[in-house]
Amino acid sequence: MIAMKNTRNTMHYYLMLLPGLCLITLFSIVPMIGVVIAFQRFIPAKGIGGSPWVGWDNFTYMLQLPDSKQIFINTLLIAVLKIIAGIIVPLAFALMLHEIRLAFFKRIVQTVVYLPHFLSWVILSGVIINLLTLDGVINAILSWFGAEPVMFLASNFWFRPLLIISDVWKEFGFSTIIYLAALTAINPVQYEAAVIDGASRTRLLYHVTLPGIRPTIVLLATLSLGNVLNAGFEQVFTLYNPLVYETADIIDTYVYRVGLVDRQYGLATAIGLLKSVIGLVLIVISYRLAAKFANYRIF
């Protein structure tokens, strides 16, 4: 009797899963079959079945392209700098905020700083461009000091710092909250004990606060390893222009231009596939490390 009921329930469970699984198959699994285009000289009119196979040609061609080295360096550099800034800035900010006892002030600051996280890169880029044009407010302020106007968005010197700074602007509030949550979880008894022993504020920071949130720092740092090839497509795409391709072009923007603008499907798929495979390996490594050092499990 009970066994029969269980089977009936199981059937209903499968029924619940069905629509979602169909959609995942259609939009995630089917495209995975499409990656064979990476090994073809793909001609859209002939489809996957009719296009000629070219083996690893697309991959060797990719490695010979004069741009590939620069694009790889750009991607890595931008992503790694963002990761480092994305750990240090929110950590410093959270530590400062944690020192403040005024609850309402803390709350207002938190509310303000993580607002940009919820706005899209389109909006933020519109705002940034508006600030940085020749007749924008930043150049107006520079002119008070007698400086020449700077075309920030056309400058290969300024573009990468701009990406890092604007990324920090958008995301540091979000990570600050995570660190603050970890900070409030430190047992107050530890502080009281240290104060009774005569510890100063600086010593409290080094001997109670920082050790208390070390697991969180380690966890966030390890998990960000999976992102070293994600330099932030939406941000770069909405801010860059041909004049700064040299310093700003990343794998994702390159795939977009080669694939959907120039319609070299085989080449673009090959680059995308290579990135996905390396990305997957990195994520698996980072999850393994996170499980080992911070006891982290996704489910």
Cα gap 88→91, rounded to integer Å? 5
Among 80, 131, 225, 289, binds other proteins (CB under 8 A): 131
- As measured in angstroms, the least distance from the Cβ of 131 to other proteins is 6
Q: 288 exposed, middle or buried (CB, 10 Å; 0-12, 13-18, 19+)?
A: exposed
Are the C-beta atoms of residues 280 and 229 closer than 8 Å to each other? no
Are the C-beta atoms of residues 229 and 76 closer than 8 Å to each other? yes
The interface with other proteins within residues 81-100 (CB under 8 A) comprises 93, 96-97, 99-100
DSSP letter at 136 equals: S
The interface with other proteins within residues 190-229 (CB under 8 A) comprises 191-192, 195, 201
- As measured in angstroms, the least distance from the Cβ of 3 to other proteins is 12
The interface with other proteins within residues 4-33 (CB under 8 A) comprises 5-6, 8-10, 12-14, 16-17, 19-21, 23-24, 26-33
The interface with other proteins within residues 249-268 (CB under 8 A) comprises 252, 255-256, 259-260, 265, 268
Among 211, 234, 291, 292, binds other proteins (CB under 8 A): 234
Helices (DSSP H) in the chain: which residue ranges?
2-24, 30-33, 47-50, 57-64, 66-99, 103-113, 121-132, 137-144, 159-184, 188-196, 201-204, 210-223, 233-239, 245-248, 251-256, 265-294
* For other proteins, the closer CB: 84 or 291: 291
* For other proteins, the closer CB: 65 or 131: 131
- Binding segment for other proteins (CB under 8 A), chosen from 49-57, 58-66, 77-85, 187-195, is 187-195
Among 40, 75, 114, 171, binds other proteins (CB under 8 A): 114
Cα gap 264→41, rounded to integer Å? 9
The reply on whether position 230 binds other proteins by CB under 8 A is no
Cα gap 133→110, rounded to integer Å? 30
